[in-house]
Structure formats: structure tokens, C-alpha cells
Amino acid sequence: MPDLLTHYAISLLITVIALRSYLSVIVALSGLLPDIDAFLSIHRSPTHSLLLSAPITLISLYLYTRNMGSKLRKILFLTSTLYTLHILMDLAWSPTPILWPLTDQGYYLSIDISGGRVGDKISISASINLVTSEHGIGSSSGGPLIDPHTWLISLIIVFISLFMLKIIVRRETRSI
């Protein structure tokens, strides 16, 4: 699974671009919510079900599009979207029970990219498959808080997001 810092970095970048306010720093924390199950010493619990999160995201999108000017609806939409994005990121890493309660089984995305040179042409092909795993719900006890392989790039994304946020807020304050 992506570590908490990676989840937060991606959530912060999206929130800064969408919300353009210092509130972004707090709203981005919603991208960590599915891992609240780690406090129960399990991971990949029903908090990682797309069947539960996707309808909430669609409802919040509907509410947001009915009143685009409402900051509260925008925050609700962002919060539910970041929650669902967390599940999709986990899905690309390891088995996740996205179809709970229909099944306890975990699923993950198998991504294969291959390429080669054929004559004077270079060919690249990619395939993405949704694979069923024998590791189902609660099979993972959680990953690291900070992954030694990704912490640096995640930290850079956090700093870039905060720098962008500072510029955005300064510009909008001047234009008032």
C-alpha cells in the first residue's frame, strides 16, 4: 500500500489546486481516512470498499454541481473524492476489498508494461487487469507510516503543494 505520507501528498496537491485556500491542509487529511482501520490493528477492512465510498462521492458530486458556488459542498465533494482516491491507490499496490459486502475477497490491479524494438520500430504495450486475490478482508496488518522508497518524492510533492498554496493565497489576497 502507499504509505500515509504518499496518500497525504497526493491529496494535498489535489486539494490545493481545487480549493485554493489554507483549508486545503486540513481537507487533505480526508485522503487518510480509509486507514483509520489500522487503529484496530487490521488493514483493508470495509473502510476500503468502493461500494460504500463511490455512491457517497457521486451524491456529493451531484450536490456540488447543483450549487457550484458553495464552498461547503465543494469541501464535501473533495473529501469524498479523496477518500475514494485512497482506495484506488491502494488497489494499485495490493489486495483491497473493494466489493465488500458483496464479497470479502481482495482485488488488485496488475499493471504490465512491455516493449521492444521490432525492426526500425519501437513498440510499447501496456495492460491493466483487475485480479482477484486470495488475500481478503483484514488480511493485511497495515503498511509503514513512511515508506523508505517513496518518502522523498512524497515530501517534495508536499513542499511543492505548500509553495503553490502560498502563492495562490497571496495572489487572491492582493486581488481583493
For Zn ion, the binding residues (CB under 5 A) are: 34-35, 90
DSSP string, 49-110: -HHHHHHHHHHHHHHHHH-TT-HHHHHHHHHHHHHHHHHHHHHTTS-B-TTTTT---EEEEE
- Rounded to 5°, angle at Cα 158 from 146 and 95: 45
Q: Least distance (Å) from Zn ion to the CB of residue 80?
A: 16
Q: Least distance (Å) from Zn ion to the CB of residue 143?
A: 8
Q: Least distance (Å) from Zn ion to the CB of residue 17?
A: 23
φ/ψ bin of 8: left (φ > 0), alpha (ψ from -120 to 50), beta (otherwise): alpha
Q: Which is nearer to Zn ion, 60 or 94 (CB)?
A: 94
Q: Which is nearer to Zn ion, 35 or 100 (CB)?
A: 35
Angstrom distances, CA of residue 20 to CA of 43, 100, 105: 32, 35, 39
Task: Tell me if 22 sits within 8 A of 163, measured CB to CB.
Answer: no
Q: Which is nearer to Zn ion, 23 or 130 (CB)?
A: 130
Q: Least distance (Å) from Zn ion to the CB of residue 53?
A: 12
Among residues 169, 176, 166, 156, the alpha carbon closest in space to that of 5 is found at 156
Q: Which is nearer to Zn ion, 35 or 157 (CB)?
A: 35
Q: Least distance (Å) from Zn ion to the CB of residue 7?
A: 7
Q: Which is nearer to Zn ion, 32 or 169 (CB)?
A: 32
